[in-house]
Amino acid sequence: MTDFFPLNTGARIPAVGLGTWEADGEACTRAVRFAALEAGYRHIDCSHLYGNEIQVGLALREILGDGGGIKREDLFLTSKLWFTAKTPRHVETCVDASLRNLGLDYLDLYLLHWPTPAPMGDATDPPPAAALEHREEVRQIKESWQVMEALLATNKVRAIGVSNFGISQLQELLGSCLIVPAVNQVELHPFWRQDDLVEFCKRKGIHVSAHTPLGIPGTNIGSLQLPTSVVAAIAEELGKTPAQVILRWGLQRGTSVLPRSLTPERIKLNIDILDWCLADDDWKAINAMEPQVRLINGTFSYLSENAPLQAVKEDEVEQAENI
């Protein structure tokens, strides 16, 4: 069984979490509620960026209420700071908005969403166009991380980490930080294995969480489509689904996985990966899969017309608070 992985804080992160990117409206609330109450998920991966923390919060209120019967300490809630927020005031604005929308007193994990710097602005501003020119720069990482470190003292977050950091960005951060990130959440699936990064993080005591663990099947992003013949053959032999094989591969390399689904049957199947293993040959076959294709490179955040950071709408917050 691989239910949890240890963090360098002494806490434990559940091996499987529910992703919530692009989970909108009531479908999001239904999926989170179903995942926790019917399928046994204890980790929900959120972000202010996703614009749906109010909908996640509606489900959390039920899950943690009398009807749900799950204790707060048994849930693991992650959220993320968008990268225009840098000063302590901006960061507190962001974390307070996430806490208010989710209906929580604290987050178990708060991540710096992207290493990409952007000119300082209000925490709810979309990234200014000028950021495009600088998106590969890392000069403000240290400054942002110091603010994250200070956040720990507020008790609003139990652990801090990063997301989408590569080795050089981590090296830069580790050279100056007081607190080593507990987690690096990055894109990982058989088509983007990032073996060196996973190994580097392991050596530094940084747990790695796999976002986009299924490669977003059925979309036009990148060239990836599931199932591939290798995974499909293994799945058939084991009597599992291709998605289960891919997620189990993620667990066996020591990474937690964050599949997103709005479909109850898939939500259940995606966590039904804890009590069986891939054999060595299957493991090796997946580790040899080609091509390696990165799907999420961050440019969407500047180039999309739907600039992703949505302002927290006060009336929605009030609506959630009144429930």
Ligand X SMILES: NC(=O)c1ccc[n+]([C@@H]2O[C@H](COP(=O)([O-])OP(=O)(O)OC[C@H]3O[C@@H](n4cnc5c(N)ncnc54)[C@H](OP(=O)(O)O)[C@@H]3O)[C@@H](O)[C@H]2O)c1
Give the active site residues: 50
Contacts of 79 (CB under 8 A, 6+ apart): 46, 47, 48, 53, 95, 98, 102, 107, 109, 110, 111
Q: Are 224 and 295 spatial neighbours (Cβ–Cβ below 8 Å)?
A: yes
For ligand X, the closer of residues 151 and 296 by Cβ is 296
What one-character DSSP code corresponds to residue 310?
Answer: P
120/83 Cα distance (integer angstroms): 9
- DSSP-based three-state secondary structure for 173: helix
Please state the closest distance from residue 15 (CB atom) to ligand X, in A: 14
Query: Least separation, in Å, of the C-beta of 169 and ligand X?
Result: 14
Q: Which is nearer to ligand X, 28 or 97 (CB)?
A: 28
Contacts of 281 (CB under 8 A, 6+ apart): none
Is 211 annotated to bind ligand?
no
**Contact in structure between 213 and 257 (CB atoms under 8 Å):** yes
Least distance (Å) from ligand X to the CB of residue 186? 7
User: 275 or 314, CB closer to ligand X?
Assistant: 275
Q: Which chain residues interact with ligand X by CB under 6 A?
A: 19-21, 45, 113, 163-164, 185, 211-218, 241, 243, 258-263, 266, 269-270, 296
Which is nearest to 163 in space by CA: 204, 118, 115? 115
The token pair that represents 58 in the structure block: 């509606």
Minimum CB separation of residue 39 from ligand X in Å reads 12
Choice between 13 and 322, CB closer to ligand X:
13
Residue ranges of the annotated binding site for substrate are 113
